[in-house]
Structure 1
Amino acid sequence: MGIIGNLTPDQLHFFNSQGYVVIESFASPQEIDGMIKRMDHLLLHFDFDLSTSSVFSTKDQQKRTDNYFYESAENISFFFEEKAFGDDGNLKQPKELSINKVGHALHEIDPVFKKFSCSEKVSSLFFSLGYKRPIIIQSMYIFKQPGIGGEVVPHQDNSFLYTEPQTCTGLWLALEDATIVNGCLWAITGSHKNGLVRRFIRGEDGVYFDRPSPTYQQKDFVPIEVQAGSLVVIHGDLIHQSFENQSPKSRHAYSLHVVDTDGCKWAQENWIRRKVEPEPLYVS
């Protein structure tokens, strides 16, 4: 189809050796502003019921996963921070400062996020990574709210979005500057070479990990501090995390996860079980 890969040989080498690569100025100021303003609009019109609100937690995913979460695979759904609620069960701050993330089909349903997600530069990036028939399997707008932005524990994306063979790659776009202070990404460089540690399985009685998490040493992680507009490309087996945001500044990001469907099988045990197959970004 004539797409020219936009990763240079040096960037590909860095990605293959380190498990991630940063592309600065991937999104323009206009694109960033458009996505932030669009999310402001979505939040403004988000009407919620405290009795049925869904909370997102990477520390307790098995307990927190419910039908609302399952159905979010093909919807635009809102998930609150664990620390957003007081002892009385009410929000401690306005709803727009209480949301952990919005997902998981922004890229399909919302025109602003779809335009960026399906842009030629995103398609071109995956073409340069060797994808044949890539699909976006999920998207997330992540807030990392001031003071209460929750920790994301060490994990690998392939654990949740497993294909045979494994093909998941994550795109993490900084919509605001991401620093050590406000909860940037951290990664164990080169850890993708050690393979997949465990899988997140959806069974008849809910979801569970097929084995316990290893213990990681914090000294092995390096921070990935980036400016707004920078894109972090993440190998599906890279071990990465982020800490709580205890600062007064938010750390908004837009994340996509892509898998290949050419000669690759989507695992039925994954938490995402779509009713409608996603359209590919392209077919090479």
Structure 2
Amino acid sequence: MNVLTPSQLEQWKSDGYLLLPSFFSPEDVKEMLDEAKRLCDEFDIEGHPLTAFKTAADGEHVGDDYFLNSNDKIRYFLEPTATSPATPDTPAKLLVPPSQSINKIGHALAVLNPIFHKYTLENEKIRGVARDLDEQRDPRVLQSMIICKQPRIGGTVPCHNDSTFLYTDPPSAIGFWIALEDCQPSNGCLSFLPGSHKTARISSRFIRNPSGKGTTFIDLPDVKKNEEDWEGMEGWRESDCKAGTLVLIHGSVMHKSPPNLSDKTRFIYTFHMIEGAEGTKYDEKNWLQPTPEMPFQPLFK
């Protein structure tokens, strides 16, 4: 049975993203949101390295072992403004309650958490969407996570495309982004540059630093570097949506989200798919690595 209509598939191909309102029922959304909040409430700061998630492509970004070894675990990453700066004499400290400090929880929720497993790897509608898109022969699920966008401290996500961070040769990433609460401009909804997936080249990638310390970006030698001012282009669309909406995101489409300056949370659940079939390579340079015990999971059974 088809999940996507011909007009939705045409919009996907034209814009590089697609909103599917009411994809999940209110009951489904409540189950996922309740589980996300339970995980936040159970966050134990004792022994946590206070790893903050930083996303700026031209500045500091996260890259400690806690982050790099998270493929087969459920780990907590904090908002940068949730902690005080560390100094040689004073360690960083939380400035807000632990449950309100979290930027995201990942990256193996779809495998290890029964609720998110149910709505990802065991969900027939999700499989149907992947089949209807017909972009991948053997989709593999990776980087499953809750993103919280905490009130007043939820940070900006700068303009980017996902295949830079989940690089395959050739590029193949597709994001599945599920609103667990209403997402509005005031609390950090997504914005897209429609059609940018047709012209944006994956000319750099986010990798484990060859020095063995952290992460870095490298240019792809055989791809012309993007020189467009994506941020300054006309045509950006804010994609506010109701809880239960599924947003599909092409790996090359440019998108971003503003900070959450409101008093409302903006919880979402997201995961990505890459092509797992022969002819597409996901290599050892990528920051997120599968393990023998937990390879990237096939979506099709």
Q: Which range, TM-score by smaller chain?
A: over 0.9
Secondary structure at the aligned position of 1:262 is classed as coil
Higher share in helix: 1
Matched with 2:207 is 201
Matched with 2:281 is 265
Q: Return the letter of the residue paired with 1:120.
A: E
Instruction: Output one character per residue of 1:42-100: Cα deviation in whole Å (capped at 9) or x when no partner.
Output: 22322123772110011277542110001111110000101112468432221111100
Matched with 1:255 is 270
Deviating more after overlay: 265-274 vs 223-232:
265-274
Distance apart, 1:158 and its partner CA: 0.3
Tell me how far apart the structure 1 counterparts of residues 188 and 284 of structure 2 sit (CA, whole Å).
Answer: 33
Instruction: Output one character per residue of 1:228-267: Cα deviation in whole Å (capped at 9) or x when no partner.
Output: 1001100000010001111111111111100121132213
User: Identity of paired residues, percent?
Assistant: 36
Deviating more after overlay: 197-206 vs 251-260:
197-206
Match for residue 128 of structure 1 among 107, 126, 132: 132
- Once the two structures are superposed, the pairs formed by residues 57-96 of structure 1 within 5 Å of their partners are 57-59=54-56, 63-86=61-84, 89-96=92-99
| Structure 2 residue runs without a partner (length 5+) | 220-224
TM-score (norm 2): 0.87
Contact 1:5 1:126 in 2 (8 A): no
Are residues 140 and 58 of structure 1, via their aligned partners in 2, closer, same or farther at CA, if it must alter by over 3 Å? Answer: same
Match for residue 274 of structure 1 among 273, 280, 290: 290
Tell me how far apart the structure 1 counterparts of residues 68 and 269 of structure 2 sit (CA, whole Å).
Answer: 20
RMSD (CA atoms): 1.9
Match for residue 46 of structure 1 among 32, 43, 47: 43
Contact 2:55 2:61 in 1 (8 A): no
TM-score (norm 1): 0.92
Match for residue 192 of structure 1 among 191, 197, 200: 197
Deviating more after overlay: 223-232 vs 61-70:
61-70
Corresponding position: 1:233 with 2:248: yes
Distance apart, 1:203 and its partner CA: 3.3
| Structure 1 residue runs without a partner (length 5+) | none
Matched with 2:222 is none
Tell me how far apart the structure 2 counterparts of residues 177 and 106 of structure 1 sit (CA, whole Å).
Answer: 22
Tell me how far apart the structure 1 counterparts of residues 82 and 239 of structure 2 sit (CA, whole Å).
Answer: 26
Tell me how far apart the structure 2 counterparts of residues 182 and 123 of structure 1 sit (CA, whole Å).
Answer: 30
Q: Return the letter of the residue paired with 2:270.
A: S
Corresponding position: 1:139 with 2:144: yes
Contact 2:139 2:299 in 1 (8 A): yes
